[in-house]
C-alpha cells in the first residue's frame, strides 16, 4: 500500500511573484532601469564607506579646494573626479551623501503616506456611507490642487525644519494612495469572497487586512513607485527653493541650489552632477513603475 500511495510529482507551479518577475525582466529597458535603481540604493546606503571624504566633517574640508574642476587633485591627496563645490567639498562625496538624504526622505515619506493613505482608503471603502463620502470629498479637494501648492501652503504654515518638511510631504501624498486603494477596495468588496468572509462572521479588521488588502496590493505597488519618484522630485524642488530641508541635511536639491550661482561662470559641475544623480534616481523609479503598471494593468491585455 505504501508504494501505491506515492503521488505523482506536480509540475512546479509558478507563484504570482515569479510570474511578475519573469514578465518584468522580459523588457530590456525596465531591467536596465531596475539595475540602475539597485545601484543607486546601494550607493546611498553605503555612502559613508564609498565616499573618499565626509563632506560635512568640517575638519576634512578646506576652502583651498574650492571650485576645483573635475579630475583635479584635492589637498587631502585623492582625485576629485567630479570636482569640488564652492566650499571645497568633493562633489562625489557630497553627491553620495545627498543621494542618501534625498532617497531616504522620499522613501520614508512615501512609506508613511502609503500606510496612512491605505488605512484610510480601506476604512472608507469598508465603512461606506457618510464616512466614505466625507473622506472622498476631502481627497478630491486636496487632489484638485497641485502638489507643489499644497506643499508650499504647508511649509508656510508649519515653518521650516526637517520634520516639518516630512510632514508636508506625507500630507501631500496620502490622498493619492487613499483614493487608489479605496477604488480597488470598492471593486473587491463587491466580490463574493468578501461576502463569504462576512458570512463566517469574521471580525471586520480581519476581513480588511487579511482578505481585502492582498488583492488591492497590485495598484498600490504601481502608485507607490510613481509617487515615490514624485516625492523625491518634490523634496528636491522645495530644497532648491530654499524652503525644504535645512542646511544640516543637504539633499541633492540643496546641492543643486548651491551650484546655481556658479553656473554663469561656467563651473557647471557643482549643479550638474547632483542633478544627474537626481535624474537617474527619478527616472529609474519611473521606468520601473511604468513597467509594473503595464504588467499589472489587466486592461492592456492585448
Partner 1 sequence: MVFVIRRIIQSLVVVLVMSLVVFVGVHVVGDPVHILISDDMTQEEIDRFIQRLGLDRPVHEQYFHFLANAVRGDLGNSFVHGEPALKLILHRMPATLELAFAAFLLAIVFGIPLGMYAGLKPESPASRAIMAGSILGFSLPTFWVGLMLIMVFAVMLGWLPSTGRGDFLTWEGLRHLALPAFNLALFKMALVTRLARAGTREAALQDYVKFARAKGLSPSRVVLVHVLKNILVPVVTVLGLELGGLIAFSVVTETVFAWPGMGKLLIDSIQRLDRPVVVAYLVITVLMFIVINLIVDIVYSMLDPRVRLKEARA
- Residues 287/269, Cβ–Cβ less than 8 Å: no
Residue 271, all three cell numbers: 549643479
Query: 3-class SS at 73?
Result: strand
All residues at 6 or more sequence positions from 31 whose CB lies less than 8 Å from its CB, including other chains? 24, 25
* Residue 88 within binding range of partner 1, rule CB under 8 A: no
Minimal CA–CA distance to 97: which of 243, 288, 111, 105?
Answer: 105
- Of 27, 31, 75, 286, the one binding partner 1 by CB under 8 A: 286
Residue 282, all three cell numbers: 527619478
Least distance to partner 1 from the beta carbon of 230, Å?
9
Site size toward partner 1 (CB under 8 A) is 38
Site for partner 1 in 228-267 (CB under 8 A): 229, 233, 236-237, 240-243, 253, 256, 259-260, 263-264, 266
* Residue 158 within binding range of partner 1, rule CB under 8 A: yes
User: Alpha carbon of 19 to those of 15, 33, 110: distances in Å?
Assistant: 6, 19, 26
Minimal CA–CA distance to 101: which of 256, 226, 224, 223?
Answer: 256
Q: Name the residue nearer to partner 1 (CB basis): 101 or 229.
A: 229
Least distance to partner 1 from the beta carbon of 153, Å?
6
Site for partner 1 in 125-154 (CB under 8 A): 141, 144-146, 148-149, 152-153
List of residues contacting partner 1 (CB under 8 A): 141, 144-146, 148-149, 152-153, 155-158, 229, 233, 236-237, 240-243, 253, 256, 259-260, 263-264, 266, 268, 271-272, 275, 278-279, 282-283, 286-287, 290
Amino acid at each position: 500500500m505504501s508504494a501505491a500511495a506515492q503521488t505523482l510529482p506536480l509540475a512546479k507551479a509558478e507563484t504570482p511573484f515569479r510570474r511578475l518577475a519573469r514578465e518584468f525582466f522580459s523588457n530590456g529597458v525596465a531591467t536596465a532601469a531596475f539595475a540602475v535603481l539597485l545601484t543607486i540604493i546601494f550607493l546611498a546606503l553605503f555612502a559613508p564607506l564609498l565616499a573618499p571624504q565626509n563632506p560635512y566633517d568640517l575638519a576634512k574640508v578646506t576652502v583651498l579646494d574650492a571650485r576645483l574642476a573635475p579630475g583635479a587633485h584635492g589637498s587631502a591627496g585623492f582625485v576629485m573626479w567630479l570636482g569640488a563645490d564652492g566650499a571645497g567639498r568633493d562633489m562625489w562625496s557630497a553627491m553620495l551623501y545627498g543621494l542618501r538624504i534625498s532617497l531616504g526622505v522620499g522613501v520614508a515619506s512615501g512609506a508613511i503616506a502609503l500606510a496612512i493613505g491605505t488605512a484610510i482608503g480601506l476604512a472608507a471603502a469598508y465603512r461606506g456611507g457618510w464616512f466614505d463620502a466625507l473622506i472622498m470629498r476631502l481627497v478630491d479637494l486636496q487632489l484638485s490642487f497641485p502638489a507643489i501648492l499644497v506643499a508650499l501652503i504647508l511649509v508656510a504654515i508649519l515653518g521650516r525644519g526637517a520634520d516639518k518638511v516630512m510632514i508636508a510631504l506625507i500630507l501631500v501624498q496620502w490622498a493619492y494612495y487613499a483614493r487608489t486603494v479605496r477604488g480597488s477596495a470598492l471593486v473587491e468588496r463587491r466580490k463574493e469572497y468578501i461576502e463569504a468572509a462576512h458570512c463566517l462572521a469574521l471580525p471586520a479588521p480581519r476581513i480588511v487586512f487579511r482578505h481585502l488588502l492582498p488583492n488591492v496590493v497590485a495598484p498600490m505597488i504601481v502608485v507607490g513607485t510613481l509617487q515615490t519618484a514624485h516625492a523625491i522630485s518634490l523634496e528636491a524642488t522645495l530644497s532648491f527653493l530654499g524652503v525644504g530641508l535645512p542646511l544640516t541635511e543637504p539633499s541633492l536639491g540643496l546641492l543643486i541650489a548651491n551650484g546655481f550661482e556658479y553656473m554663469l561662470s561656467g563651473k557647471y559641475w557643482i549643479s550638474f552632477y547632483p542633478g544627474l544623480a537626481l535624474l537617474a534616481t527619478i527616472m529609474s523609479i519611473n521606468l520601473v513603475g511604468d513597467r509594473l503598471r503595464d504588467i499589472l494593468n489587466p486592461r492592456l491585455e492585448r
